[in-house]
């Protein structure tokens, strides 16, 4: 009998953070970024997460060979900052690519919401990211992972039309109903596009709950987790998608929590047991037919309890910023100036809208943890000051074109 598949996927992203940009800066100073914070955070997370975790994964691949495989997507915003502040991180990712056991996925270059707002901009960012992955790692991406796993039937059509065979998304309960996330699905409107779903319970056990001593299932060991994996597919299923932020390792879950020891032990437990094998998304898509089509008329994501896009577009502040930003696209297309496109890209990073979220209840703690602002309103005011200056630059450039 064919072994069940474990798909380990990690998201790597760091936004380019905005500096404190006051009303009186508008029209006078067009440097928008907090270079000190960006450098400090990249260096810190590199030392706590990226470098030690990449070293661990490389050791595991050397030890287990083809029996251990993982996949990544690295946003263009993160790549740019690695090149600027921590080139050794890219070197360590290249070492992983050279093993042949790591698949690098494509996404929007700026970790943006372009798939919801502007098909033309979405295409440009995807092509830019695909070219960057090919140049850095020598791989032509065939699997797509949209920002924060955002997916809908319409987005699936765009992704399929861009030539991708497979896409990752969330195993959202309100979409699946009675169905399990542990099967291969396909797009309802583009049946050739296969969908691999995140098992959010098992993923969050590692990414969010691992170090929580109040969790009734703490502590989590590799042996215990293997039992949960086997329990998850006892009634059927071919693949378990364990998708999580890479920063879960060493940053969100500290080294002192034992997270690295857990990840070191898990492959050995899984491989020795023989029920599962580790596979990349592309490999799984080649080997398995879709069990069913998945209809997703409204966009889903892996964010918050709702698993929708309300984390970025759930209030009037966010919608105002989003509409004003993407309302500039046609002007930018006429100008076609690289410096303008670059700023436009960084202003699209979904993090800026995430900071404006006003969910103070069920998911408030998550938003607070990632948020450099004291309130959503401060985030909105700072962003709109930057956007006002950017709009003035665009209009002035058009007037002199």
Active site residues: 148
In angstroms, rounded to a whole number, what is the distance separating the alpha carbons of residues 108 and 114?
A: 8
Q: Which of 181, 164, 154 is nearest to 127 (CA)?
A: 164
DSSP β-ladder status, 70-74 and 102-104 = parallel
- Cβ-Cβ contacts under 8 Å for 224 (sequence gap 6 or more): 217
- Residue 117: Cβ-neighbour burial (10 angstroms; 0-12, 13-18, 19+): middle
In this structure, the strands spanning 143-145 and 166-170 are: parallel
As a whole number of angstroms, the distance between CA 160 and CA 141 comes to 13
Query: How many helices (H) and strands (E) are present in the chain, helices listed first?
Result: 19, 10
Give the pair of three-digit tokens for residue 215.
Answer: 């969790």
70-74/4-12 β-pairing: parallel
Q: How many Å apart are CA 87 and CA 248, to the nearest integer?
A: 21
């Amino acid at each position: 009998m064919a072994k069940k598949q474990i798909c380990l996927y990690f998201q790597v992203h760091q936004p380019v953070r905005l500096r404190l940009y006051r009303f009186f800066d508008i029209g006078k100073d067009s440097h928008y970024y907090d270079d000190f914070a960006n450098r400090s955070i990249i260096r810190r997370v590199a030392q706590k997460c990226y470098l030690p975790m990449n070293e661990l994964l490389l050791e595991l691949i050397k030890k287990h060979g083809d029996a251990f495989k993982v996949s990544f997507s690295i946003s263009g915003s993160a790549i740019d900052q690695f090149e600027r502040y921590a080139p050794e991180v890219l070197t360590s990712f290249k070492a992983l690519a050279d093993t042949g056991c790591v698949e690098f996925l494509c996404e929007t270059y700026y970790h943006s919401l372009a798939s919801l707002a502007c098909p033309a901009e979405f295409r440009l960012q995807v092509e830019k990211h695909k070219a960057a992955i090919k140049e850095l790692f020598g791989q032509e991406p065939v699997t797509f992972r949209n920002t924060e796993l955002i997916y809908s039937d319409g987005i699936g059509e765009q992704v399929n039309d861009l030539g991708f065979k497979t896409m990752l998304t969330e195993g959202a309960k309100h979409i699946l109903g009675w169905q399990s996330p542990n099967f291969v699905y396909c797009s309802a409107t583009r049946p050739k596009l296969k969908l691999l779903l995140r098992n959010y319970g098992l993923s969050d056990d590692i990414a969010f709950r691992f170090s929580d001593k109040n969790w009734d299932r703490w502590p989590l060991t590799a042996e215990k987790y293997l039992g949960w994996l086997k329990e998850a597919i006892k009634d059927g299923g071919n693949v378990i998608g364990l998708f999580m932020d890479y920063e879960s390792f060493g940053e969100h879950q500290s080294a002192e929590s034992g997270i690295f020891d857990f990840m070191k032990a898990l492959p050995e437990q899984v491989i020795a047991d023989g029920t599962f094998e580790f596979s990349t998304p592309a490999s799984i898509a080649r080997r398995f037919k879709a069990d069913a089509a998945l209809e997703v008329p409204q966009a889903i994501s892996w964010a918050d309890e709702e698993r929708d896009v309300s984390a970025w577009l759930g209030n009037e502040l966010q919608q105002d910023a989003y509409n004003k930003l993407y309302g500039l696209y046609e002007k930018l297309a006429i100008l076609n100036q690289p410096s303008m496109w670059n700023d436009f890209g960084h202003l699209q990073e979904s993090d800026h809208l995430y900071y404006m979220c006003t969910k103070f209840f069920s998911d408030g703690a998550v938003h607070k943890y990632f948020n450099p602002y004291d309130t959503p309103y401060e985030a909105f005011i700072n962003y709109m000051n930057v956007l006002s200056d950017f709009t003035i630059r665009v209009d002035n450039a058009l007037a002199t074109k």
